[in-house]
């Protein structure tokens, strides 16, 4: 499953037009207003984050940034030669027992030390652009969508000219996503489960599948099924749905693939991921024994067969033999939490 650059694209990111018209500033204010009785995600905690009141995600008025760096482990047309400009937010509105980023997603007390102003977040974006990164990729942005949008506005004033990637667990508010229409260029959501009971068991949220499907449907409304590439072959706009294969088929990959095909189009891009390994509570807690090992090659091939059977035409697949070895971050090293995949491939 591969893509070719067949659609011309202007150099300007999506937010440029909204910035020039003043609409970007209006969207930012609408998003920030949601913090006063927080409805930024489906938890609807109603705490006043403007006054730094914390709830399920432990996020307050400032965004926690655990790392920002050029990253080479994303899908190929996001990485290019200089890397995706990843900004890893701390905290999360899920509590996945197998989270590979648990060092930053589930350590809320430590993340307070990583909180930054929107001005500093904008400066990080501009620094990544100066390093040559091909995009700004916000990782786990859901609970910080208002702060993210404010930082984009501030960076736009200073000339930011990179596509915005929204890499999310898909437990997103449709209202928030509508406000991000025209701000985000590339949506990169996970679709973690086909059954919400597994979402409750392994990610500690109710109705995951319902909310994720609604969110992805809104993303599709904004982007359609077309991936837009630049002359450099890099992805500039579109939707790519990630499916992480879990042991014992806990993700329900076949069902999710058929939902994508039947709900949208056979041309919606899918990224099938083999990088699962047992970590966090899945590696130590006997309640999660079904997740206590790496996926087998047979399980991976079943997922590949399900993808072929679905009729979906576009996307990418990880390599089974190497994926679970490379994607093992260490956020104790904030500068380089991931080993450069190019060095990894070189041995």
pLDDT at 115 over 60: yes
pLDDT at 219 over 90: yes
pLDDT at 8 over 70: no
Q: Does the domain formed by 15-337 have CATH 3.20.20.70?
A: yes
Residue 52: C-alpha distances to residues 58, 115, 140 (Å) = 10, 12, 20
Task: Please give the pLDDT value at position 101.
Answer: 85
Question: What is the pLDDT averaged over residues 40-62?
Answer: 96
Q: Which of the 8 DSSP states describes residue 294?
A: P
Task: Please give the pLDDT value at position 12.
Answer: 87
CB 134 within 8 A of CB 78: yes
**What 3-state class would DSSP assign to 129?**
helix
Task: Please give the pLDDT value at position 216.
Answer: 98
When pLDDT is cut at 50, 70 and 90, the band that residue 47 belongs to is very high
Which of 278, 335, 322, 345 has the alpha carbon at shortest distance from 71?
Answer: 335
- Per-residue tokens: 155: 């960076």
Query: Phi/psi at 69 (nearest 5 deg)?
Result: -165, 160
When pLDDT is cut at 50, 70 and 90, the band that residue 347 belongs to is very low
When pLDDT is cut at 50, 70 and 90, the band that residue 152 belongs to is very high
CA distance 207 to 213: 10
Which of 285, 323, 207, 193 has the alpha carbon at shortest distance from 246?
Answer: 193
Q: Which residue has better confidence, 109 or 182?
A: 182
Query: If you compute the radius of gyration of the chain from its CA atoms, what whole number of angstroms results?
Result: 19
Query: E strands within the chain?
Result: 63-71, 84-89, 115-116, 136-139, 164-168, 186-189, 228-229, 235-244, 269-273, 314-317
Task: Please give the pLDDT value at position 109.
Answer: 86
pLDDT at 261 over 60: yes
Give how far the C-alpha of residue 142 lies from the chain's centroid of Cα atoms, to the nearest Å.
9
Give how far the C-alpha of residue 329 lies from the chain's centroid of Cα atoms, to the nearest Å.
16
Mean pLDDT over all residues of the chain?
92
**What 3-state class would DSSP assign to 270?**
strand
Q: What is the pLDDT of residues 294-343, one digit of tens each?
A: 999 999 999 999 999 999 999 999 999 876 666 676 666 667 766 655 55
Tokens 């997603």, located at residue = 105
Task: Please give the pLDDT value at position 346.
Answer: 43
What DSSP line would sit under 229-246, residue for residue? E-TTS-EEEEEEEEEE--
CA distance 128 to 284: 37
- Per-residue tokens: 119: 């001005």
pLDDT at 3 over 50: no
Question: What is the pLDDT averaged over residues 80-105?
Answer: 94
Tokens 């432990």, located at residue = 58
Cite the DSSP H helix spans in the chain.
15-21, 23-33, 76-79, 102-105, 108-111, 118-130, 145-157, 174-180, 196-203, 208-223, 253-263, 297-310, 320-326, 341-345
Q: What is the pLDDT of residues 279-295, one digit of tens each?
A: 999 999 999 999 999 99
**Percent of the chain predicted with pLDDT > 90:** 84
């Amino acid at each position: 499953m591969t893509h070719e650059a067949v659609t011309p694209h202007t150099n300007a990111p999506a937010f440029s037009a909204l910035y020039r018209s003043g609409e970007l500033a209006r969207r930012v204010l609408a998003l920030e207003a949601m913090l006063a009785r927080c409805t930024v995600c489906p938890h609807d905690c109603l705490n006043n984050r403007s006054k730094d009141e914390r709830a399920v995600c432990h996020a307050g008025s400032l965004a926690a940034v655990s790392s920002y760096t050029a990253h080479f482990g994303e899908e190929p047309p996001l990485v290019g030669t200089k890397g995706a400009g990843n900004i890893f937010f701390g905290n999360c509105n899920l509590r996945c027992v197998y989270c590979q980023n648990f060092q930053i997603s589930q350590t809320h007390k430590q993340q307070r030390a990583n909180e930054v102003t929107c001005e500093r977040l904008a400066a990080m974006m501009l620094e990544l652009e100066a390093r040559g990164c091909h995009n700004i990729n916000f990782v786990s942005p859901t609970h910080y969508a208002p702060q993210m949008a404010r930082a984009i506005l501030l960076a736009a004033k200073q000339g930011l000219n990179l596509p915005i990637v929204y890499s999310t667990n898909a437990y997103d508010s449709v209202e928030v996503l509508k406000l991000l229409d025209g701000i985000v260029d590339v949506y990169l959501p996970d679709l973690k489960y086909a059954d919400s009971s597994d979402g409750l068991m392994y990610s500690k949220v109710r109705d995951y599948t319902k909310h994720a499907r609604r969110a992805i449907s809104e993303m599709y409304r904004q982007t359609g099924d077309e991936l837009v590439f630049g002359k450099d072959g890099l992805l500039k706009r579109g939707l790519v749905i990630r499916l992480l294969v879990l042991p014992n088929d806990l993700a329900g990959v076949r069902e999710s693939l058929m939902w994508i095909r039947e709900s949208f189009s056979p041309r919606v891009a899918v990224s099938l991921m083999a990088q699962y390994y047992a970590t966090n509570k899945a590696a130590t807690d006997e309640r999660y024994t079904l997740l206590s090992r790496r996926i087998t090659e047979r399980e991976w091939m079943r997922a590949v067969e399900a993808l072929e059977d679905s009729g979906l035409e576009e996307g990418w697949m990880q390599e089974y033999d190497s994926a679970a070895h490379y994607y093992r971050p260490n956020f104790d090293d904030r500068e380089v939490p991931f080993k450069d995949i190019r060095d990894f491939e070189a041995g």
